[in-house]
Copies of this chain bind each other. A is one copy, B any other.
């Protein structure tokens, strides 16, 4: 691993991706400058801001990609969040650092669910969120998510009533370690299964109409006389209460 490490840095030094007309020295200096700028900031720094500060004509994305490679096996990594960059500690060192972590306010299960729906279904209106969950969003949930800075009002849907739509922010991506929304876990599968559409897709696995719905299909298990108690929905009353 030692040698790989160093080789990759050394290889980076060759400046293979230097933009046309920009010499190797400028590219290397641009790397140092970008490194300093991003390192100095606790929040992601956009490529636009970097472009304003780096030497003219340097391909910012190429500089950052190379820096990212330099840091890939170190204790600190360079991460991209959409078109911004930030240094973060390597995830495998979490054990070393999280004992100092400030206990963050925990979001309720409902709030997390609303957050996930906003992330996967965005832009999404409040009515749509409620339709997916089948329950009214309790007061304060959206408010709390807006306050975390992970959720924002995006605009309005061009339908009657022009309802406000919600979406996620770059802080959301940064917090969950996502480069972009397309990296949401399982996004493509869910899309493919039609589970991100507001309505039931016409090709959704409609069960073949049973001739006699009272008769179990081959792949159905008979319902044993499941006790609701067993399901944990009713608990026997404790004796000593």
| Chain A residues in the interface with B (C-beta under 8 A) | 1-3, 5-6, 9-10, 12-15, 24-25, 28, 31-37, 39-40, 53, 73-76, 87, 89-90, 93, 96-97, 99-100, 126, 137, 139-144, 146, 152-156, 162-164, 177-179, 182-183, 185, 189, 192-195, 198
Contact = CB atoms under 8 A, between A and B. Distances in A.
A93 B36 contact: yes
Given A39-B87, A76-B35, A99-B53, A152 B177 contact: yes
B192 A89 contact: no
B140 A76 contact: no
13 contacts: A1-B25, A32-B93, A33-B75, A33-B93, A35-B75, A35-B76, A40-B97, A142-B194, A143-B194, A153-B189, A156-B183, A164-B189, A164-B193
Contacts of A126: 189, 192-193
Contacts of A96: 33, 36-37, 53
A25 B2 contact: yes
A12 B9 CA distance: 12
Contacts of A35: 74-76
Contact of A36 (B12, B90, B155): B90
Given A34-B75, A142-B193, A154-B177, 17 more contacts: A2-B24, A5-B28, A32-B73, A35-B74, A36-B75, A36-B93, A37-B97, A39-B89, A126-B189, A143-B193, A153-B185, A153-B189, A153-B193, A155-B183, A156-B183, A164-B183, A164-B185
Contact of A6 (B10, B97, B195): B10
Nearest to A155: B183
A145 to B, nearest CB: 9
A36 B76 contact: yes
Contact of A192 (B37, B74, B142): B142
A124 to B, nearest CB: 13
Contacts of A195: 143
Nearest to A41: B100
A133 to B, nearest CB: 14
A126 B144 CA distance: 33
